Amino acid sequence: MSERTLPEIPTVADLPGKVRLRVAPSPTGDPHVGTAYMSLFNLAFARQQGGRFLLRIEDTDRARFRADSEQQVFDTLEWLGLTWDEGPDKGGPCAPYRQSERLDTYRPYVDRLLAESKAYECWCSTERLTQMREIQQKTKQPTGYDRLCLGKTREERAALPGFSETPVVRMLIPDDVELEFDDLIRGRVSAPRPDDQVILKADGFPTYHLAVVVDDHEMGITHVVRGEEWISSTPKHILLYRWFGLEPPQWAHMPLLRNTDKSKISKRKNPAARLTWFREQGYLPEALVNFLALLAYPPATNEDGTDREVFSFDEFSAGFDWRKVNPVGPIFDLKKLDWLNGVYIRGLSVGELASRLLPFLVDDGIVGDNPSLGELARLKAVTALVQTRMAHLSEAPPLVRPFFVPDDALEIAEDARAALGDNAAEVIEAAGRALGDIDDHGTSVLGSDSGWTAEAIETALRTAIVDGLGIKPKFAFGPLRTAVSGARISPPLFESMEILGKTSTLNRLAALLATL
């Protein structure tokens, strides 16, 4: 191919946004928590700078592709509030945003490199490459392609062992390849020398290394923010930008998330690596976003100069500075996340928390898909009792269930029954007599003038059991707690009885008494 017929490299038209950043997950299963981590830092900077945040789906790995994974990416990032301006589901000036729909885009770039002898075809079979690597490892040679196909025609290569009918295309890495580059987080960085990387696979799909450069250029990406595992690939990418006569973006390589044993967090070994897991476990999205920010960024600062670990995305974005990102791989400490989640749960209004609990209660069959106004009012009252007793929303069902099951369907837990003392029957009988005397005329606690209140219940029970039977307060009410909740540990007793109402409370006391 002559110089005159070389494919043109498109220039980027004026695109919206002062800066343009992207996250580019691969749809190969449940989204990795790292996708949210990278999205958070990309989005924080884009919003601070008045820029644009793009979502691109890198689905060129067809062997590991999963059709449902893309929707999971959309759903989990939307749940976290990490929303994008352009993407497969929203469109934009750089559509399409799926690499599998952009295959015609990559071929001219490959043809140009082949024509300029900056790339070459390689016919080596998988078996031959595996054998080559094994020999290199055994003889302690540098690993990498040995350039057997370089300079050979198809016929010349076919005469040698390990030939494959369909070639791949490899970069021809020059001796003077630049190995250092500037990083927004790490300063001047040095990477190892790359080998002749495959840029076009035998199936016609580009590899990550070519596609990411082409797509980032054509989508006007100004800052590439990704994990530190890509540092070693950056010289290849800078080289491709140089060969195509393009301006490289700025680079920011984030520290990898690590398990407590310092290993890289992976979906295979750690369920918390799955982004969907956090929703299933009942974490609040704002707590997870706060936690992910703290993994690689210092706390917010109060007016008096003290640190504050609880902050919103808007606060994080407003003061964002790449120089503050800690390049040391952070430990993914779930205990810290549990603490943060509890703080956020306690900070919600009762009504808001009740609405967030509802999906977990529906899934558990405690309430139906379309709860009545009475059920919603009762849920709000129960939520006020349990708000301080949860670290996860998923802990709500066993706490809430006793308030929604029929009296004759309440199950008494074995550990609660085993803990009942010898005087349980005496306590329950005394409680029944005392509570029976309370006037419950009027509306319920949920509406209000009834004499059946937590204060009246507590007064009656303390008089009958603590004073009347001489039982110490810490031991006096255990049998009653078991009777009304079925458990040893439950929401506050007197308030629980108020919500259940007089009839239900007395029914449950009688039911347990009958079994003693």
Can you spell out the DSSP letters for 330-392? PB--HHHHHHHHHHHHHHS-HHHHHHHHHHHHHHTTSS-SS--HHHHHHHHHHHHHHGGG-SS
- CA dist., res. 199 & res. 188, Å (int): 27
- Is the confidence at residue 1, as pLDDT, over 70? no
Catalytic residue, candidates 267, 269, 335, 472 = 267
- CA dist., res. 156 & res. 149, Å (int): 9
pLDDT tens string 411-464: 999 999 999 989 999 999 999 999 999 988 755 545 556 789 999 999 999 999
Poorest-confidence range of 225-239, 265-279, 343-357?
265-279
Q: What is the pLDDT of residue 444?
A: 52
Could you tell me the pLDDT band of residue 319, with boundaries at 50, 70 and 90? very high
Q: What is the pLDDT of residue 234?
A: 97
Three-class secondary structure of residue 206 per DSSP: strand
Could you tell me the pLDDT band of residue 34, with boundaries at 50, 70 and 90? very high
Architecture of domain 408-513: Orthogonal Bundle (1.10)
Could you tell me the pLDDT band of residue 10, with boundaries at 50, 70 and 90? confident
Q: Distances in Å between the alpha carbon of 117 and those of 1, 121, 148, 173?
A: 11, 10, 16, 11
- Is the confidence at residue 2, as pLDDT, over 50? no
In CATH, what number does 350-404 get? 1.10.8
Q: What is the pLDDT of residue 61?
A: 79
Provide the 8-state DSSP code for 180. E
Q: By C-alpha distance, which of 486, 321, 336, 347 is closest to 412?
A: 486
Q: Give the pLDDT mean for 338-353.
A: 97
Q: What is the pLDDT of residue 3?
A: 47
Poorest-confidence range of 24-33, 76-85, 225-234?
24-33
* Residue type present at position 171: M
- CA dist., res. 375 & res. 280, Å (int): 24
- CA dist., res. 498 & res. 505, Å (int): 8
Percent of the chain at pLDDT > 90 equals 84
Poorest-confidence range of 173-177, 204-208, 259-263, 283-287?
259-263
Q: What is the pTM of this model?
A: 0.91
- Is the confidence at residue 29, as pLDDT, over 90? no
- CA dist., res. 342 & res. 391, Å (int): 5
Which residues of the chain form CATH 1.10.8? 350-404
Q: What is the pLDDT of residue 148?
A: 97
- CA dist., res. 32 & res. 43, Å (int): 17
Q: What is the pLDDT of residue 442?
A: 59
**What is the residue-averaged pLDDT of the chain?**
93
- Is the confidence at residue 382, as pLDDT, over 60? yes
Q: Give the pLDDT mean for 83-108.
A: 95
Binding-site members are 267
Percent of the chain at pLDDT > 70 equals 97
Q: Give the pLDDT mean for 179-187.
A: 98
Q: Give the pLDDT mean for 473-498.
A: 93
Binding-site members for ATP are 267
- CA dist., res. 71 & res. 157, Å (int): 44
Q: Considering only CA atoms, give the Rg of the chain.
A: 32
* Cα distance from N-terminal residue to C-terminal residue, the chain: 95
- Is the confidence at residue 5, as pLDDT, over 70? no
DSSP lists the bridge partners of residue 55 as 23
3-state helix, strand, coil in the chain (%, to 5): 45, 10, 40
Q: By C-alpha distance, which of 100, 65, 116 is closest to 215?
A: 100
Q: Give the pLDDT mean for 150-169.
A: 97
Q: Give the pLDDT mean for 260-289.
A: 89
Q: Distances in Å between the alpha carbon of 22 and those of 97, 274, 296, 325?
A: 11, 20, 19, 18
- CA dist., res. 278 & res. 271, Å (int): 9
Q: What is the pLDDT of residue 449?
A: 61
Backbone angles phi, psi at 206, to 5 degrees: -75, 155
Q: What is the pLDDT of residue 475?
A: 87
- Is the confidence at residue 322, as pLDDT, over 70? yes
Three-class secondary structure of residue 83 per DSSP: coil
- Is the confidence at residue 318, as pLDDT, over 80? yes
**Residue carrying the six token digits 């070639």:** 167
Which residues of the chain form CATH 1.10.10.350? 408-513
Three-class secondary structure of residue 91 per DSSP: strand
Could you tell me the pLDDT band of residue 263, with boundaries at 50, 70 and 90? confident
- Is the confidence at residue 4, as pLDDT, over 50? no
Assess whether 267 carries a catalytic annotation.
yes
- CA dist., res. 86 & res. 418, Å (int): 60
**Residue carrying the six token digits 């644009």:** 52
